[in-house]
């Protein structure tokens, strides 16, 4: 038998468009971006998706198993402007130059700004080079990055109807809701029965000492009421050992971690949550129909967390407690006691929370991005 050698025929794979997601610094900015990135990948399997952030540790934590590329720019946060303006100007000037080079190298169909200072250089560079720019604003009050970048953006996707009124009239907006992971969005269609016997304590993706301390005080005061309940407490890395030891000393059933990668599983069993009022945390709780006791971060830019929380409270889905109030410890203890002892109140607040959910937000933002990118090529 004679074997005939045939020339190899290369297999050609058609590569789809590239999308750059600009931002980071916190899970609250990254998680909505990830949800949308997965939607884009589902719609365009051969698309290339790259996250471009600031290099903070939380970005590696959140993106480590995402399957998407991750790059960093040499950024200096806006908080350093007063202390060292020369360093601020130098480093962010370098970041802008690097962003322009990145855009020329990758030729993206669109840049998606996720908010925060980490989004600014790449979105600004996209404006300079004519790349389509879609901004995602998670909070009811637009952040400084969104306010500045929106003036030249192709579109701003908002989580709340009221946000459009706080942007210049010339800005194109679409209220899409705040995207959440599909595993969280799917909870909205599920019935959990009445076996919700855990309490979530969430200080955001990086933890919050104020929330940790208030929750511990309330837990100590309500020790007897907590029989049959389990506390799921995300502390952030700084307080994890202290909080774990305190629950053990009090004899309270608690699972304590610096950061939970499996929060959707815990949403299923949560009767209520004690939480900061970042928009992404609240959007996830809404999809899971988990009532909230909100303790807004008092240092939030433009006090956006308080406004997020008050929006939920207006519809009966949350209680709001000021961390700096002299009565904060009494208020959180009373709020937790009401929910622990009144199942009907928990159900009523859960129903109100579910009505505020936007489980299809990631799909709506994805469609807006693809439509905006397509409009550029059609022009």
Residue 130: Cβ within 10 Å count = 9
Query: Facing residues of 18 across strands?
Result: 48
Element at 136 (helix H, strand E): strand 133-137
Q: Is 113 annotated as a binding residue?
A: no
Q: Is 203 annotated as a binding residue?
A: no
Q: Is 27 annotated as a binding residue?
A: yes
Residue carrying the six token digits 């994805």: 366
User: CA 349, CA 319: separation in Å to the nearest integer?
Assistant: 10
User: CA 86, CA 68: separation in Å to the nearest integer?
Assistant: 34
Q: Is 26 annotated as a binding residue?
A: yes
Helix axes 279-287, 27-43, angle to 10 degrees: 60
Q: Is 139 annotated as a binding residue?
A: yes
* CB 209, CB 320: distance < 8 Å: no
* CB 186, CB 193: distance < 8 Å: no
Would you list the DSSP string of 248-289? HHHT--EEEES--S-HHHHHHHEEEEEE---HHHHHHHHHTT
Q: Which residues are annotated as a binding site for UDP-N-acetyl-alpha-D-glucosamine?
A: 26-28, 139, 205, 305
Q: Which residues are annotated as a binding site?
A: 26-28, 139, 205, 305
């Amino acid at each position: 038998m004679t074997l005939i050698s045939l020339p190899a025929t290369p297999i050609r794979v058609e590569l789809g468009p590239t999308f750059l997601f600009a931002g980071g610094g916190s899970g609250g900015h990254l998680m909505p971006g990830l949800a949308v990135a997965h939607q884009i990948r589902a719609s365009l399997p051969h698309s290339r998706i790259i996250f471009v952030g600031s290099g903070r540790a939380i970005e590696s934590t959140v993106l480590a198993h995402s399957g998407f590329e991750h790059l960093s720019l040499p950024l200096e946060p806006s908080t350093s402007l007063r202390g060292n303006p020369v360093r601020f100007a130098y480093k962010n000037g370098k970041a802008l130059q690097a962003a322009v080079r990145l855009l020329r190298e990758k030729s993206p169909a669109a840049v998606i700004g996720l908010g925060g200072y980490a989004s600014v250089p790449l979105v600004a560079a996209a404006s300079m080079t004519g790349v389509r720019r879609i901004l995602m604003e998670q909070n009811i009050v637009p952040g400084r990055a969104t306010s500045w970048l929106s003036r030249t953006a192709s579109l701003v996707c908002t989580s709340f109807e009221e946000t459009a009124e706080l942007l210049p009239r010339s800005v194109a907006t679409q209220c899409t809701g705040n995207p959440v992971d599909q595993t969280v969005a799917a909870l909205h269609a599920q019935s959990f029965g009445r076996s919700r016997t855990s309490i979530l304590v969430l200080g955001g993706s990086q933890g919050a000492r104020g929330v940790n301390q208030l929750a511990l005080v309330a837990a100590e005061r309500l020790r007897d009421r907590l029989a049959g309940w389990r506390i799921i407490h995300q502390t952030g890395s700084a307080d994890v050992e202290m909080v774990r030891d305190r629950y053990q000393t009090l004899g309270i059933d608690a699972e304590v971690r610096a950061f939970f990668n499996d929060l959707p599983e815990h949403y299923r069993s949560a009767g209520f949550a004690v939480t900061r009022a970042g928009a992404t945390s609240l959007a996830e709780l809404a999809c899971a129909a988990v009532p909230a006791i909100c303790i807004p971060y008092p240092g939030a830019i433009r006090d956006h967390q308080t406004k997020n929380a008050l929006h939920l409270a207006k519809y009966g889905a949350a209680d709001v407690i000021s961390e700096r109030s002299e009565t904060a410890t009494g208020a959180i203890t009373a709020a937790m006691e009401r929910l622990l002892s009144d199942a009907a109140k928990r159900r009523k607040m859960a129903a109100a929370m579910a009505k505020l959910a936007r489980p299809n937000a990631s799909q709506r933002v994805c469609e807006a991005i693809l439509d905006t990118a397509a409009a550029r090529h059609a022009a």
